[in-house]
Amino acid sequence: MAALAPRIHEVPDDLLAAIDYCYEQGWTDGLPVVPPAVDRVNALLAADSRAPQTVIARHPATGLELTLHAAAVNAVMAGCLPEYLPVLVAALEAMDRPDFNFHGSTASTGGSAPLLIVSGPYADEIGMNGDVNLFGPGNRPNATIGRAVRLILRNVFQMLPGISDKSTQGNPGKYSFCIAERARGNPWPLLCQAQGYGNGVSSVTVFAGGGFCNVENHGGNTPEQILGSVADAMANYGCITLGQSVVILAPEHMHIIAGAGWTREQAQDFLFSHARRSVEGMKEVGKYREREYDRQHGEGAHARAEAGFVHRGLAPDDILITMGGGDAGGHSCFIPSWSRGRGSIMQHAAIRT
Amino acid sequence: MQLYSPLSTPPKRQAVRAPALADLKGTRIGILENGKLNAEEMLSEVAALFVERHGCTVRMMSSKSNASAPAPANMLVALAQDVDFLITGLGD
């Protein structure tokens, strides 16, 4: 059965009153939104050649559907420009895959937020930031694409705080959590290349991020010292699980690691081997679970999972590593995945332009 | 000014509830646990009450590999063929 035609609300020609009207309808994330005027939505829809009623994602439990049209309405409200729509659509297509489990990661007490990492030339084309103040405010596409994802979760999929979104504490990324991978000076293949997309094809990676952990190291001068401090952050008792990880290396840290000839794969191996806790230690804090240990150490498990220890993740490629941030400062970050286990697996999709 | 609604406009879906059991006596129970820390223990305790009070029998225990994702359809089909009702719930 086809979806119903989008509903139109008639409001007075008064922009401030229209902003208040959006508040009254419960359509906002707490911040003012751009009223989704019909002509502005239609201008956004022109950025995608498909029919507005094309379904790009479905809620697995309620059956609520996200159409291209609804994506554009929420994108306008978030402050997006038409050229941002392909990134938003690709992100939602990736989130729609069952393994990402966006219902679970949004509804859970865990309080994660979908982190979007945009890789490739399209990030520069639309003016995204992969540089200084990477996760901070000030860049329109970073801020508004991430915000549009949140508004879609709220308005289209009805993941409402306190009702269907039961985050115990949430996290600031639930307003917006979107960055570009820094291409300038990046010594490693970009994520879109490592993911196997063709020349000139950009991608967006989505990850249910459970927070943000700054990794400060201004004294280390070797890959082992820098990655050792990252591994320690990954294995802290509060964070360690079998879940996946995202590590964004500051350029200063990246130059130490890649300058010593280390590849992304070597860094992943090092982090997987070192981000671990002993079984005794896990028992002391009450977090040890035999069946999780068995999963990591059982038949066919990765050889680097050392007996008597619980590592973060199941294998080195559970750790996404790339570069981002400004030139100055020994500040990298680790972002843990949501869930105590493997509740959400990161996904990526090509950006169709 | 005309504003589009940002909400989903879903087609009307037909959803029906399973009919209530006429009598619990002698019925067969399935347990679907979600892998949380105490789920199996809690659900088994609940099932034991049905066994004690209504003469039910516990026929199947199934485990979801992911607590927060819907149970796979084939798991539900298999359960439905062998039990009269299912006990499930969180067990943190």
Beta strand pairing status for A309-311 and A178-180?
Answer: unpaired
- Asked if A243 and A317 touch (Cβ cutoff 8 Å), the reply is no
Domain range holding A234? 211-336
Strand segments, DSSP code E, in A162-244 are 178-180, 203-209, 213-216
List the one residue out of A225, A230, A262 whose CA is nearest residue A246: A230
Residue with tokens 């059991």: B21
Does A39 share its domain with A150? yes
pLDDT in tens, chain A (353 residues): 556 688 999 999 999 999 999 999 999 999 999 999 999 999 999 999 999 999 999 998 888 999 999 999 999 999 999 999 999 999 999 999 999 999 999 999 999 999 999 999 999 999 999 999 999 999 999 999 999 999 999 999 999 999 999 999 999 999 999 999 999 999 999 999 999 999 999 999 999 999 999 999 999 999 999 999 999 999 999 999 999 999 999 999 999 999 999 999 999 999 999 999 999 999 999 999 888 899 899 887 778 899 999 999 999 999 999 999 999 999 999 999 998 888 899 999 999 98
Contacts of residue B68 in chain A, CB cutoff 8 Å? 101, 103-105, 107-108, 339, 343
- Asked if A90 and A119 touch (Cβ cutoff 8 Å), the reply is no
Buried b (16+ CB within 10 A) or exposed e, B17-41: eeeeeeeeeebebbbbbbbbeebbe
Chain B's closest residue to A14, CA to CA, is B1
Size of interface A-B (CB pairs under 8 A): 107
- Structure token pair of residue A125: 């084309």
Residue B91 banded pLDDT, cuts 50, 70, 90? confident
Chain A CB within 8 Å of residue B10 CB: yes
CA atoms in the 13 A half-sphere facing the CB of A135: 21
Residues A94, A100, A101, A105, Cα dihedral to 10°: -110
Beta-sheet strand order (sheet of A245-249) = A213-216, A331-336, A245-249, A319-323
B44 vs A303: CA distance, rounded Å: 37
List the one residue out of A127, A242, A197, A144 whose CA is nearest residue A348: A197
- Asked if A350 and A90 touch (Cβ cutoff 8 Å), the reply is yes
| Interface contact B68-A343, CB threshold 8 A | yes
| Interface contact B66-A104, CB threshold 8 A | yes
Q: Among the residues of chain A, which ranges form H helices?
A: 15-24, 38-45, 68-78, 85-95, 102-107, 121-125, 140-155, 191-194, 223-234, 251-259, 264-274, 279-284, 290-297
In a domain, A113, yes or no: yes
Beta carbons within 10 angstroms of residue A314's beta carbon: 17
Q: Which of A7, A37, A341 comes nearest B5 by C-beta?
A: A7
| Interface contact B8-A6, CB threshold 8 A | no
Cα distances (angstroms) measured from residue A75 to each of A156, A268, A352: 12, 35, 17
Does A84 share its domain with A172? yes
In a domain, A35, yes or no: yes
In a domain, A3, yes or no: no
Domain residue ranges of chain B, discontinuous segments joined by +: 28-88
Q: Which of B6, B8, B13 comes nearest A151 by C-beta?
A: B6
Does A286 share its domain with A202? no
In a domain, A287, yes or no: yes
Number of separate domains in chain A: 2
Indicate if the pLDDT at residue B49 is higher than 90: yes
Indicate if the pLDDT at residue B9 is higher than 80: no
Does A148 share its domain with A103? yes
Name the amino acid, one letter, at A238.
G
Q: Which of B3, B7, B11 comes nearest A156 by C-beta?
A: B7
Does A200 share its domain with A70? yes
Name the amino acid, one letter, at A204.
V
Residues 6+ apart with CB under 8 A from B76: none
Does A120 share its domain with A171? yes
- Residue A63, by phi and psi: left (phi above 0), alpha (psi -120 to 50) or beta? left
A184 vs A205: CA distance, rounded Å: 19
- Structure token pair of residue A223: 């890959």
In a domain, A5, yes or no: no
- Residue A50, by phi and psi: left (phi above 0), alpha (psi -120 to 50) or beta? beta
Does A21 share its domain with A108? yes
Does A106 share its domain with A23? yes
Does A193 share its domain with A217? no
pLDDT tens digit sequence for A266-289 = 999 999 999 999 999 999 999 998
Contacts of residue A10 in chain B, CB cutoff 8 Å? 1-2
Indicate if the pLDDT at residue B69 is higher than 90: no
Q: What local confidence, expressed as pLDDT, does residue B36 receive?
A: 81
Q: Please provide residue A87's backbone torsions phi and psi, each rounded to the nearest 5 degrees.
A: -70, -45
**What is the model's pTM?**
0.93
Residue with tokens 């088994």: B44
